Structure 1
Amino acid sequence: MPGERIEGYATDPSALIERLFQQVAERSMVGLPFYRPQLPIKACAFQLLEGQLFGALLTPWMLQLMLLPGPGQRWDYRRADERLALAFPQGEILFRPGEIAPDLYYLSCSLLSPVDPALSAERAVALAENSVRLALSLPVRQTSVINTGRRALLRGALSANKG
């Protein structure tokens, strides 16, 4: 609700996330054409990130990054139509608020929706875990450095000084 403050989670919210999304699946997702029954509902790789809880959620219908308030944190409530760009090592990631009232309030970034039907459960979980690692990893930049060895380097330096 607008004006409301959301209290942080003192412990790992993975079990809560899985239980609540299992309820969503049973209530409204099972039987839809994009539902992949071979995939689990799994909260993956949740960890503290600057005081917030960050991880991924895999379901039979989607894969998303999730951010929840961490221990001692208080978030302002945001409407579902708001967007929030957050800075990660790989660059900005756009999140939107979501909730399963009254137990779960989070920010999410959709990565796959729907999930590829050819994806096995094992590979889907690995993809979710790797998505978290990738979002938190430092960017890699290619450079065109040529290792010429010390002699060539010294000859080049000496040649440059002679000119």
Structure 2
Amino acid sequence: MQNEISGFDASPHSEVQAAFAAVAAGEMHDLPFVHPHMPVSVTPFTLFEGQWIGCVITPWMLSLLIFPGPQQCWVRRNVGERIGLRLPYGEMTFTVGEMPALAQYLSCSLMSPLARELRAEQGASLAHDCLKMALSLPVSESVSRRALLTRLKDARHA
């Protein structure tokens, strides 16, 4: 077994889509908690601090995923190990996962199981929104967006 995980030179979008679609069609297909009408949908992956980050929605879950980026090399970890990472959104806990087609990756569960009333297009939109939110700076509750924008506008006119 290799002790290091080499990074993806390009976005792992296609590999992630294929791997999770195979799981959905195989071992997860007839389980009672899967959403029967939710297809696998993967957001485009983006580089963040040298790592690929994206979101996947499957018939059984919605998760934020991180893969090693170009010229990155991760130390192999124990599957199931938990790692706290700080993203612009805040501190999030990721779990080490592994699939033969993907090697190791980090996964943060955002929803599991999926709400039955969630439609496929809503699921894909939710995955995109979750990725955007994870990479967005939080807004402090003490300063509203309106107050922040008003102050910026006032500063420009000073």
Q: After TM superposition, is the score higher than 0.5?
A: yes
Q: Give the structure 2 partner of residue 18 of structure 1.
A: 17
1:133-144 equivalences in 2 (<5 Å): 133-143=132-142
CA root-mean-square deviation? 1.7
Distance 1:144 1:79 in 2: 42
Structure 2: distance between partners of 1:120 and 1:103:
27
In the superposition, the TM-score normalised over structure 2's length comes to 0.85
Q: Indicate the SS of the match to 2:20.
A: helix
Q: Secondary structure at the match of 1:67?
A: strand
Q: Could you list the runs of 5+ residues in structure 1 that have no partner in the other structure?
A: 148-163
What is the aligned partner in structure 2 of residue 70 from structure 1? 69
Aligned residues: 145
**Alignment partner, residue 49 of structure 2:** 50
Partner of 1:119: 118
Calculate the TM-score normalised by the size of structure 1. Answer: 0.83
The answer to whether the Cα contact below 8 Å between 1:45 and 1:132 also exists between their aligned partners in 2 is no
CA contact (8 A) 1:18 1:41 kept: yes
Secondary structure of the residue aligned to 2:65 is strand
Alpha-carbon deviations, 1:98-128, whole Å to 9, x = none?
0112543210000111111100011111111
Q: Deviation at 1:35?
A: 1.4
| Greater gyration radius | 1
Aligned-pair CA distance for 1:142: 2.8
Secondary structure of the structure 1 residue equivalent to 2:117? coil
User: Relative to 1, partners in 2 of residues 1:102 and 1:41: Cα closer, same or farther, differing over 3 Å?
Assistant: closer
For residues 141 and 129 of structure 1, the distance between their equivalents in structure 2, rounded to whole angstroms, comes to 23
Q: 1:41 to 1:126 in 2, by over 3 A?
A: same
> Which amino acid counterpart does residue 83 of structure 2 have in structure 1?
L
Whole-angstrom distance in 1 between the partners of 2:18 and 2:44 = 16
CA distance in 2: counterparts of 1:103 and 1:120, whole angstroms: 27
- Corresponding residue number in structure 2 for 1:85: 84
Q: Output the CA distance in 1 between the equivalents of 2:86 and 2:56.
A: 20
CA distance in 2, matches of 1:121, 1:102: 25
| Contact 1:56-1:63 within 8 A present in 2 as well | yes
- Whole-angstrom distance in 1 between the partners of 2:90 and 2:110: 15
The answer to whether the 8 Å contact 1:17/1:104 transfers is no
